[in-house]
Chain A
Amino acid sequence: MTAVLEAQALGRKYGKRWALRECTIDIPAGHVVGLMGPNGAGKTTLLKLASGQLEPSTGGISVLGGRPGDTPAQLAKVGFVAQDTPVYAGLTVAEHLRLGARLNPRWDAAMARERIARLGLVPAQRAGKLSGGQRAQLALTLGLAKRPELLILDEPVASLDPLARREFLQGLREAAVAHRLSVLLSSHLVSDLERICDYVIVLADSRVQMAGEVDQLLAAHHRLTGPRRDPDRLPADQHVISAGHTERQSTYVVRTDAPNHDPAWTATQLSLEDLVLAYMDKRTVDNGRAVLEVRR
């Protein structure tokens, strides 16, 4: 399968500050990709680079084989729902659909109308009067009815209450399946994405910390719990992601292909949230023993 997004040594800086650097990823088509990371990790920057809102400072990026945002054809292939799901406050719901129909050659008017009706949005209502959840749904409808091959969503559920969040993500998953759509969405809450993503990218500190299919990542990572000892004494094929210590016990999150044979260690499965948090926290291990000492 072809890649929906390929980036080589992609970087973007604002002034002197790097928002994203040395980003090299290759996302295959047909996934719902969750882009996770703490606030300010560079998620929005990566998504804006992918949709052509921003130009890279260094490196290159190609989306569905083309330069992002360059031509009407490229724009037609990629849908983008921006952070806070902006809509025109003065335009009605129906006028938003008309806007979509006028500006997109592949517009699916029947699907848009059907979705609006199913969501219970009143076509004559002004978008400025919609609730946050309704507005997000309207923005998603615009993104979907454009019939893109890749739909990018930047923190689409950040301002929604838990119920609206669930409904929004549910709708997104159904649409992704129905239209065989690749989806790339970001959130700083793992729990939002856990339910619908089958591929994750973890960004922290403006770099990619981890990227891959959820199943494979979960299979390759374990939490090892055992008597307290230093990470140097773990087997060589165990790559330590994060470490935690109490007086008597050490807990490591490791990546390994080999099963654990040391009876002193108890290996347990990680949840996606544990794994993502371990990678966001990875710097503590990279910085070595000094951190270990401080933590005691």
Chain B
Amino acid sequence: MIWLTWRQFRGSAAMMAAVLVVFAAVLALTGPNLASEYAAGVAGCTPDNTCFDFFDRFFSEYDLLFLALTLVVLILPALVGLFWGAPLITRELEAGTHLLVWNQSITRGRWLAVKLGLTGLAAMAAAGVCGLAVTWWSDPLDKSAVPEMAQMAPVVFGARGIAPMGYAAFAFVLGVTVGMLVRRTLPAMALTMVVFAAIQIAMPLLVRPHLMPPVAGTFELGRENMDGLGAPGGGSLQIFLRTSAVPGHAGAWVLSSKLVDPSGRTISSGDGSSGPSSTIVRAVPVSTTSGPCSAQGLPTGGCTAEINRLGYRQQATYQPLERFWPFQWIETGIYALLTLGLAWSSFWWLRRRLS
């Protein structure tokens, strides 16, 4: 059975292997340069404390590549589910060859076990290699990424570490199970994609924030959590509060970020203005006609100190970067359980309903 599975699978396995080898080779050749450029930059910026500027420059230089590689890792499991999972059984059903193979001297259960096991392991290996290679390559960029692309942020987290293996295993078994239910290849592929995409979107939105209770904290305002101040037309002072960063916790995934006044009440009004992306605008009753927050005072930088002195704070909940690996293990475990559940139901379905 192993021979037959391999014989049927070797074409797609070879193609995947070839693509991965090229992919890994390109990463292996360019990775060291990227790392040394980062190291040199950090060495240069640390003495004069300008590393934020270096990070911005360095990340914006590579952000497209960074995003593209992240997307590759995110999409790979879906492709595995679509092109390896869904056709695994439907191809046999459509050609009628299931009747040939089920009447050799092995049980259907064993047939499915070998097919699922072998192809599933290959899927996990492919996603694992791809995910870990990108994790390694992106390390300098992850350290200098803008807060929205932090390592714990939804899009990036799923493309790092071991989670892609869990996704790939799940997508593969999902494809197989959907294929068994739908029994035709194209509809099965379409349905697999829709279901997998829905789950991949639901996971970071609904489940991942609660894997561990988020940390709550109150922070002084500063460069890391504030994208500037504004005093339009001498009205109240506007604070552009970042929604995806908290000071001192680079790489954290910020779940909520709000501005509170000195008595601890949330300020929810922004006078109808809008700020840069990933910020919220909040208006605070601080004089903008005179003092450090006036049009003359703002450029001197004294305003930030003034609002902190007055007691305005950022109140945020977040998942810090230290939880990256625990989260990776938990999430991979969840997908492993889902995979096992689906695999079990596919065996049940094979015995009870199919044919």
Residues of A in contact with B (beta carbons under 8 Å apart): 48, 51, 53-55, 69-73, 75-76, 78-80, 82-84, 86-91, 95, 98-100, 102-106, 139, 142-143, 146
Contact = CB atoms under 8 A, between A and B. Distances in A.
B7 A91 contact: yes
Q: Specify the main secondary structure of chain B where it touches its partner.
A: helix
Given A53-B99, A86-B96, A146 B355 contact: no
B105 A88 contact: no
Given A79-B103, A99-B7, A104-B104, 8 more contacts: A69-B102, A69-B108, A76-B105, A87-B97, A99-B3, A99-B104, A102-B1, A142-B100
Contacts of A102: 1, 3-4
Contacts of B103: 51, 75, 78-80, 82, 143
B206 to A, nearest CB: 38
- Top 8 nearest A-B pairs by Cβ distance? A86-B96, A103-B104, A82-B99, A76-B105, A80-B103, A104-B105, A53-B355, A75-B105
Given A53-B355, A54-B355, A76-B105, A103 B100 contact: no
Nearest to A91: B7
Nearest to B351: A55
A86 B97 contact: yes
B15 interface: no
A75 B99 contact: no
Contacts of B97: 86-88
Interface residues of B, number: 21
A75 B106 contact: yes
Contacts of A78: 103
Contacts of A89: 95
A75 B355 contact: no
B91 to A, nearest CB: 10
B107 interface: yes
Contact of A98 (B1, B3, B99, B110): B3
A88 B106 contact: no
Interface of B: 1, 3-4, 7-8, 95-97, 99-108, 110, 352, 355
B99 to A, nearest CB: 4
B4 A103 contact: yes
29 contacts: A48-B355, A53-B99, A53-B102, A54-B355, A69-B102, A69-B107, A69-B108, A72-B105, A72-B107, A75-B104, A79-B103, A80-B99, A80-B103, A82-B99, A82-B103, A86-B95, A86-B96, A87-B100, A88-B100, A95-B7, A98-B3, A99-B4, A102-B3, A103-B1, A103-B101, A104-B104, A106-B105, A139-B100, A146-B105
A78 B104 CA distance: 9
Contacts of B104: 75, 99-100, 103-104, 146
A5 to B, nearest CB: 16
A104 B105 CA distance: 5
Contacts of B102: 53, 69
A196 to B, nearest CB: 21
A184 B167 CA distance: 47
Contact of A72 (B8, B96, B106, B355): B106
Contacts of A70: 107
Contacts of B95: 86, 88-89
Contact of A86 (B4, B99, B355): B99
Contacts of B99: 53, 80, 82, 86
Q: Which of B8, B101, B104 has the most CB of A within 10 A?
A: B104
Nearest to B2: A102
B61 to A, nearest CB: 47
A98 B7 CA distance: 11
A103 B110 CA distance: 11
A82 B96 contact: yes
A181 B229 CA distance: 92
A104 to B, nearest CB: 4
A75 B100 CA distance: 12
